[in-house]
Chain A
Amino acid sequence: MTSRWVNRVLGLHSWVVYLFFYAPIAVLVFLSFNDNRLVTVWTGASLRWYREMLQNDQVLAAIRNSLIVAAVSTLVSVILGTAAALGLERFRWKGRQLFDGLLYLPIIIPDVTMAVMMLLFFVQVFGFVELAFGPRIGLGLATISLSHIAFNISFVAVVVRARLAGLDPALEEAAADLYADRRRAFLHVTLPLIMPGVLGGALLALTLSLDDVVITSFVSGPGSTTLPVYVFGLVKRGVTPLINAVSTVMLVASMLLVFVSLVFQRGDGKVPKGTRQ
């Protein structure tokens, strides 16, 4: 079909693009094992910066915060997002289209706009609570989790809907014909069938929550810094071997998630597309 010559050029081009993808990551991982205080002056291999990372209380606290937020926001958004997908894909109701549009907005909206939205919203709510009830509350892990849920619901819903749309409704009808009530039909037929979609959505939510910098940095308070926000703050001040080590750990974590998702999605053949930065 394609001539040999064209094929060779395409192959070569692909190698170059893959090199472009992986060389920067490889250099970063390699340099994280450098013993020297200066990032680019190689003096010998060591795990010094990984040790230092494990002794750094701020890093450990940030990792803990990230994991709490990711777990909470993934759990809540998977439940709400899956329910929303079912409601939109399996039922016809008034106001369905409006909800459909609202559900797409958090995916389209730029991170920066959403960050601004959440900050102004929480400031208003805090002001109101203080005025009406007295207690002073501030930004923290709760506001971060609430914001992450707000964008994750949509991503989960999109992934689960893609799965639902490809499903044969006859299977659910067959369950109904065999006198399964709605709850049973859902638990024993629908849920197992959409499970790859639900898990795919959960992994996407987890990744997005663990990656987010902009929105989190707007709605986090003192003591509630997540790992990406902490690293971002360090990076703005300059390059250090400690950041290289933390970065490598973050890369390994995301690669583990890719492999987990590949295992779950096997046989499904589809990867959820579309994510925010």
Chain B
Amino acid sequence: MATRTGVTPELEAAAERAQARRGLLVSLPAYVYLVVFFAIPLVIVFVVSVFGRRNPRGATVYGAPSLDAYRKIFEPGPDGSYLVLEIVWRSLWLSVLTTVICLLLAYPLAYYIGTRSPRVRNVLLVLVMIPFWSNFLVRTYAWRVLLGRSGPVTAVTSALGLTDTPMIFTVNAVLIGLVYGFLPFMVLPLYAAIERMDWSLVEAARDLYASGWQAFRKVTWPLSRPGVIAGSILVFIPAFGAYVTPEILGGSKTTLLGSYIVRQFLQARDAPFGSALSFVLMSVMLGATIVYFRTGGKTL
């Protein structure tokens, strides 16, 4: 702000105080709302995970603080198998694989859209936005129909003599559902990064006798990296905590962390353990997001 004549330091300080008061006042309703309906619930989850115990009737009683609920994640179950760790591991590699496949599918598409004329570009972009905004549950359900026992995909694979067993309720079905569900989340940030790229740099590389591949490796790819990171985070986070997709397309052997947490509340009635798992899940997400912001991401 330009200093004007006649503005004393006292006046400026008063103006600053007034500004601070107004800023707080304007934000206050949302602030209070989020403290009551978000921060306090978050604290409650933590309190339940540390102070809560499940009594034999499935109710939660409170006692001295302990990390038992967290320890349970690393302990073998009654049958001696490390069920929870298996589920966490499965969620992790499935979400990483989903992210990689989405990147491989989305990058060439985003590049293609970004290099079209503005008119074609807008049409292609809207065609990505429609699935992006469409109901996630419905889009996942479509695959239940496609991959089901008498579904079209099964009909095709058995006609080709590949396999008669439907893909539904397998890990592959969950993977397809995750990729299908989150692919638009990858395309849009990638497109944004490629679209605002300075193409004269690529031309300069080509003028200096770089091959097409070299120019891509040394110029295009590094310049589009913010989009790659943003898209990867936007796919990885919801995929790791996915609940709807494994519930609809997966089976008893493909339980993911999201479904397992829900089960702790709706079936096992073990609120402390479910709370501990939710807290761990949230911490992983926060970690991933901090990495994202550290690497210079801005669009969320």
Contact = CB atoms under 8 A, between A and B. Distances in A.
Contact of A112 (B136, B206, B241, B299): B241
B126 interface: yes
At the interface, is chain A mostly helix, strand, loop or mixed?
A: helix
A110 B240 contact: yes
Contact of B111 (A10, A40, A243): A10
A103 B25 CA distance: 16
A164 B31 CA distance: 19
A53 to B, nearest CB: 14
Contacts of A31: 145
Contacts of B53: none
Given A6-B212, A83-B30, A274-B299, A28 B271 contact: no
A124 interface: yes
Interface string B124-163: 1011111111111111011111101011100000000000
Interface in A16-30: 17-18, 20-22, 24-25, 27-28
A179 interface: no
B131 A211 contact: no
A17 B26 CA distance: 45
Interface string B230-260: 0000100110111110011000000001100
Which of B48, B106, B278 is most buried by chain A, counting CB atoms within 10 A of its CB?
B278
B12 interface: no
A92 interface: yes
Contacts of A116: 45, 261, 265, 274-275, 278
A89 B234 CA distance: 24
Interface string B202-246: 110010000010000000000000000000001001101111100
Nearest to A150: B37
B187 to A, nearest CB: 8
A250 interface: yes
Contacts of A88: 23, 27
B242 A277 contact: yes
Contact of B112 (A10, A104, A108, A275): A10
Which of B45, B188, B238 is most buried by chain A, counting CB atoms within 10 A of its CB?
B45
A135 B174 CA distance: 44
Contacts of A28: 138, 141-142, 145
At the interface, is chain B mostly helix, strand, loop or mixed?
A: helix
B296 interface: no
Nearest to B48: A120
A258 interface: yes
B26 A87 contact: yes
Which bracket fits the contact residues of A?
35 or more
A113 B31 contact: no
18 contacts: A24-B143, A24-B145, A25-B142, A40-B150, A84-B26, A86-B26, A87-B24, A87-B26, A113-B45, A113-B278, A116-B45, A154-B34, A213-B137, A231-B137, A239-B148, A258-B134, A273-B188, A273-B189
Given A25-B134, A27-B142, 6 more contacts: A80-B30, A84-B30, A112-B243, A116-B265, A262-B129, A274-B299
Interface of A: 1-3, 6, 9-11, 13-14, 17-18, 20-22, 24-25, 27-28, 31, 38-41, 79-81, 83-84, 86-88, 90-96, 99, 102-113, 115-121, 124, 146-147, 149-150, 153-154, 157-158, 207, 210-211, 213-214, 218, 228, 231-232, 235-236, 239, 243-244, 247, 250-251, 253-255, 257-258, 261-262, 271, 273-277
Interface of B: 16, 19-31, 33-35, 37-42, 44-45, 48, 105-106, 108-109, 111-113, 115, 124, 126-139, 141-146, 148, 150-152, 180-185, 188-189, 192, 199, 202-203, 206, 212, 234, 237-238, 240-244, 247-248, 257-258, 261-262, 265, 271, 274-275, 278-279, 281-282, 285-286, 289, 299-300
Closest 4 CB pairs of A and B: A91-B23, A87-B27, A110-B241, A121-B41
